Structure 1
């Protein structure tokens, strides 16, 4: 049941954010400043993508929503102190 709720939330975010995230973005080069300028919905999409990418790299199919939220907060805090850093470098530094 939890898996269905997570999929529903991600699908909802993607549907709502579709028009807001119309342009492609190279997430490996996305800076913290650029991510902050995208707005909260697009930032949520980026966070969901980054979480999925990270889990796929480690061959871990499980997602803990509470952990995802905590990690997004950690990335935001790190980005606040380093706006020119890439989001991917911040995430890699958290591992």
Structure 2
């Protein structure tokens, strides 16, 4: 399962790169509303970056795909209720 998740992330990264992400994003300031308005490929890129950022801060190179999916669902629910909050604040509010 973890290998499949790694492959999916790699494919998503390639797809995202193909979208031509020319715009720089300040990840400390991006709001939940701004993320929700992005195209799917860009949203996936943001999610991948946030996951890597959270794991890096925790000094944890391992990714549990099931836990990551459950955490993402919690963050999405939090963001729907709090669209003006920053994505980093949403991640912190969920305890990640």
- TM-score (normalizing by structure 2): 0.86
CA drift of 1:2 comes to 3.2
Q: Give the whole-Å Cα distance in 1 for the aligned partners of 2:86 and 2:47.
A: 13
Counterpart of 1:69?
69
CA drift of 1:66 comes to 0.8
Matched, 1:8 2:11: no
Alignment of 1:10-49 (within 5 A): 10-18=9-17, 19=19, 21-49=21-49
Q: Give the whole-Å Cα distance in 2 for the aligned partners of 1:39 and 1:65.
A: 22
Number of corresponding residues: 94
SS in 2 for 1:85: coil
- RMSD (Å), alpha carbons: 1.6
Q: Give the whole-Å Cα distance in 2 for the aligned partners of 1:20 and 1:80.
A: 27
- TM-score (normalizing by structure 1): 0.87
Question: CA contact under 8 A between 1:20 and 1:42: conserved in structure 2?
Answer: no
CA drift of 1:20 comes to 5.2
Runs of 4+ in 1 over 4 A off after TM superposition: none
Q: Give the whole-Å Cα distance in 1 for the aligned partners of 2:32 and 2:13.
A: 21
CA drift of 1:94 comes to 1.3
